[in-house]
């Protein structure tokens, strides 16, 4: 029985598409290819999925029909490209396009994650140092201060109050933060709140540009791949919209797919949403439509905005790093001064 919450990684899907493409191009039958892939994969759940695909193909169904039974795992984009390839006789080419697209998406996600790793590590180290000083070092020094019966500096009294609160209620505070985070996650599952959150992220100064660039890369690359695979323009916009995770872009693309179905151009409606699609993007799409090379234009736009996204992630990382270093220095400096300053005052009084 397949776990309903199971998700295949992009790497697994890429493995499936690439190996299917190579063996299909060599002339092997789909059934034989699936059996080979089942023996090669290490994932038990993936083996189960391939087993259901083998049963479907044995029963005379298309591969895409078998994949449709696992729609939540593979999605519209993956399934439709294979379906068009089977119908048009270009399955090997479509699988190769799909593998390349998945590889590009994985590379893009890796760039974003890689740019965020250092700032996150720096933040964790800062909080870890502050927590270590508060919980392990300061409690050993505090009795010395209280035994002297002297008026402590304001900064030290503030730190004692914060430290005492953390020691007394730290566990409750930690559970409170966890409960708050879980509450936020649950709230974001409510469609109107999730949609509002996506609108907010698009409006943020630096992160908003990254979100827009990321969605434009996915839109342009998905559209280009679908068109190259033989999908009609209306269906391509519809599939791209359904495959989009950002609810704001999803809603807009659903509207555009309906309008394009009446015979209008995509660029005409992209221009109505300059906050989501910059004028340069819309104009380039218009050129692609007029010249009949929208698939090639999509590839160019995807590469262009991927470079823009790469620059944005580097800029965000370069902004966050000094801010986090300043935050780290402020926290550690505050704790250090809170401990050292009263010791210095007491030593001065003793000398005098």
CA distance 86 to 206: 43
Within its chain, how far is the Cα of 281 from the centroid? 22
- Predicted confidence at residue 148, as pLDDT, reads 63
Taking CA atoms, 277 is separated from 11, 257, 267, in Å, by: 29, 15, 10
- Per-residue pLDDT, 84: 81
Reading the chain (352 residues) residue by residue, the pLDDT tens digits are 455 556 777 888 888 888 888 998 888 888 898 889 888 887 788 888 888 899 988 888 888 888 888 888 888 888 888 888 887 778 888 888 888 888 887 887 777 777 777 777 877 887 777 777 777 776 777 777 666 666 777 887 887 787 778 777 778 888 998 999 899 989 988 989 999 999 998 988 878 888 898 889 888 888 888 888 788 888 888 888 888 888 999 999 888 888 887 777 888 889 999 989 989 999 999 999 888 888 889 889 988 988 888 887 777 777 777 887 888 788 778 877 877 777 776 676 665 5
pLDDT at residue 193, as a whole number: 92
How far is Cα 305 from Cα 289, in angstroms, rounded to an integer?
A: 19
At 25 the three-state DSSP class reads helix
User: What is the gyration radius of the CA atoms in the chain, in angstroms?
Assistant: 28
Please determine whether the domains at 10-103 and 105-352 fall in the same fold group of CATH: yes
Burial of 113 (0-12, 13-18, 19+ CB in 10 A): exposed
Q: What is the pLDDT of residue 150?
A: 66
pLDDT, residue 179, reads 93
Phi-psi category of residue 27: left, alpha or beta, with phi > 0 → left and psi -120 to 50 → alpha: left
- pTM of the predicted model as reported, rounded to 2 decimal places: 0.73
**Class for the domain spanning 105-352:** mainly alpha
Rounded Cα gap, residues 224 and 229, in angstroms: 9
Domain ranges of the chain: 10-103, 105-352
Q: State how far the Cα of 98 lies from the Cα of 105, in Å rounded to an integer.
A: 11
DSSP for 119-176, written as a single string: HHHHHHHHHHHHHHIIIIIHHHHHHHHHHTT-PPPHHHHHHHHHHHHHHHHHHHHHHH
Report how far Cα 319 is from the mean position of its chain's Cα atoms: 20
d(C-alpha 236, C-alpha 247), whole Å: 18
* CATH code for the domain defined by 10-103: 1.20.81.30
Residue 131, pLDDT score:
74
């Amino acid at each position: 029985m397949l776990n309903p919450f199971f998700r295949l990684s992009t790497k697994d899907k890429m493995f499936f598409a690439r190996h299917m493409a190579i063996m299909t191009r060599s002339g092997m039958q789909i059934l034989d290819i699936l059996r080979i892939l089942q023996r090669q994969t290490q994932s038990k759940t993936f083996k189960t999925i391939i087993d259901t695909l083998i049963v479907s193909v044995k029963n005379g169904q298309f591969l895409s029909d078998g994949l449709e039974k696992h729609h939540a795992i593979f999605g519209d984009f993956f399934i439709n490209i294979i379906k068009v390839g089977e119908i048009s006789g270009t399955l090997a080419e479509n699988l190769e396009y799909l593998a390349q697209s998945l590889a590009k998406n994985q590379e893009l996600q890796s760039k974003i994650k890689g740019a965020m790793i250092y700032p996150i590590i720096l933040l964790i180290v800062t909080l870890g140092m502050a927590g270590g000083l508060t919980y392990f070092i300061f409690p050993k020094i505090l009795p010395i201060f209280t035994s002297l019966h002297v008026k402590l500096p304001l900064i030290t009294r503030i730190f004692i109050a914060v430290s005492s609160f953390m020691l007394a209620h730290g566990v409750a505070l930690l559970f409170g933060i966890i409960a708050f985070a879980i509450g936020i996650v649950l709230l974001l599952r409510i469609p109107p709140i999730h949609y509002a959150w996506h609108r907010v992220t698009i409006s943020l100064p630096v992160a908003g540009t990254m979100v827009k660039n990321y969605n434009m890369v996915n839109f342009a690359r998905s559209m280009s791949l679908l068109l190259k695979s033989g999908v009609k323009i209306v269906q391509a916009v519809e599939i791209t919209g359904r495959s989009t995770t950002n609810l704001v872009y999803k809603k807009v693309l659903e509207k555009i797919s309906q309008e394009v179905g009446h015979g209008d151009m995509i660029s005409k409606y992209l221009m109505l949403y300059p906050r989501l699609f910059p004028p340069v993007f819309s104009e380039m799409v218009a050129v692609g439509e007029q010249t009949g090379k929208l698939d090639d234009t999509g590839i160019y736009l995807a590469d262009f905005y991927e470079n823009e996204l790469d620059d944005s992630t580097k800029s965000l990382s370069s902004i966050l790093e000094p801010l986090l270093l300043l935050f780290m220095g402020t926290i550690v400096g505050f704790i250090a001064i809170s401990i050292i300053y009263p010791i210095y005052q007491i030593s001065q009084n003793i000398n005098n």
